[in-house]
Amino acid sequence: MHEVNVYAREGKHGRTHWQYDFRVELPDGKVYRERRKARGANTEAAARRIGEARMLQVIREGQRSAKKDARAAPTVAEFAAEWLALGRSERQSPCTLKNRRVMLDKHILPVLGDRRLDALDEKALLNLRNHLAEHKSSTVNLIVRSLMAMLRCAERLGHKVRLPKVKPLAEVRERHWYTPHQYEALVASAATFGPEHLLTILLGGDAGLRSGEITALHWEDVDFEMDTLFVRRNFADGEERAPKCSKTREVPLSDRLRAALLALRRISEPTGHVLVRDDGQPCRNYLLARRIAQVADYAGVPAYGPHALRHAFASRLMLSGSGARVVMDLLGHSSLQVTQIYTHATADHRRAAISRLSTGTGEAPART
């Protein structure tokens, strides 16, 4: 509720005059402050009446201005509905639309929903970030990026928009992977559970497949004569589509991966998806994670999830002396910079590198 403050001031020649001040937030989100002399007021009550009349005038002028500009600058909530409808008309993926709605309904609209697009400044974005303080920096940055994407869309459609600039929060990403020793413990543990669990581990750790590529793998993608996997699909956003970077890649079968595939093929339908649920439907990511957790618990190693197996695959390739370009091709990356994220030097690897350096021969000294 708006309030007028009134106080007396002693001027020149010892004469007392009354002043008022008030602060109101206008419909466009701007804050208006005014401090003036209450001319003609001889008492506190009279000064208050003058101040309240002036404050009411400012509020009414702000409301008239907001109505005048309403078509040119909708509120965040009004344009959010238009933005989502535009996404549906452009046939954006259901997952993308769902994520946008969650971020809007849960985080953005409760804080900024009634603000006009042309009133969103740096202060408004910082206010949003303050409301998200309990979330990880990466989550906060994702929500702010989503809001900015919506504002840029509004600008392209001709709406009057402000595009405030706020420096992203620093993100600390903790990456997990399995060491070669931990990975071999997983493989040994998975073999005691059966071919489905073993293939869940090997397709990630011996072939470097993404979780969506594992669940989208068909028997027709496995060529036993060539000992090769053809990665043609990736399950993402509720559907099977071309893999990342939109290119099919070939991954040679390791001996134990080939044996595990043959073992499963002997007891399952040789068509359709390789990994399926009990009801015959394709396996999905949650089931991969559950199987890995079961195997990891039995092996006594951390349960990091499917992507940690892909990291382990890349690191083991580098430890074996494979070049970065080969690793990039096997992982299906578009650049070497992405591949470098997936490679991790172990203590043994670092020790061997220093040993080779110290001998001056480029070869590690023989251990006795």
Residue 181 falls in the annotated catalytic set: no
Residue 167 falls in the annotated catalytic set: no
Backbone angles phi, psi at 209, to 5 degrees: -75, 145
* Annotated catalytic residue within 197, 210, 273, 316: 210
Burial annotation 275-310 (CB, 10 A radius, 16+ → b, else e): bbeeeeebbebebbbebbebbbebbebebbbbbbbb
A 10 A CB-CB count for 121 gives 17
The full DSSP string for 289-339 is HHHHHHHHHHHTS----HHHHHHHHHHHHHHTT--HHHHHHHHT-SSHHHH
Cα–Cα distance measured from residue 73 to residue 37, given in angstroms and rounded to the nearest whole number = 35
Distances (CA, A) of 89 to 86, 93, 97, 135: 5, 11, 11, 32
Cα–Cα distance measured from residue 234 to residue 211, given in angstroms and rounded to the nearest whole number = 8
Per 3-state DSSP, the chain is made up of helix, strand and coil in percentages (nearest 5) of: 55, 10, 35
* Annotated catalytic residue within 178, 183, 304, 342: 342
- Residue 241 β-bridge partners: 234
Cα–Cα distance measured from residue 79 to residue 113, given in angstroms and rounded to the nearest whole number = 9
Residue 244 falls in the annotated catalytic set: yes
Residue 342 falls in the annotated catalytic set: yes
* Annotated catalytic residue within 310, 311, 316, 344: 310
Q: Structure tokens of 300?
A: 């006594």
Cα–Cα distance measured from residue 182 to residue 203, given in angstroms and rounded to the nearest whole number = 16
Residue located via tokens 């998806």 = 273
Q: Are 282 and 274 in contact (CB under 8 A)?
A: no
**Longest alpha-carbon distance in the chain:** 107
Residue 7 falls in the annotated catalytic set: no
Element (H, E) at 249: strand 249-252
Residue 210 falls in the annotated catalytic set: yes
* Annotated catalytic residue within 244, 265, 349, 356: 244
Return the active site residues.
210, 244, 307, 310, 333, 342
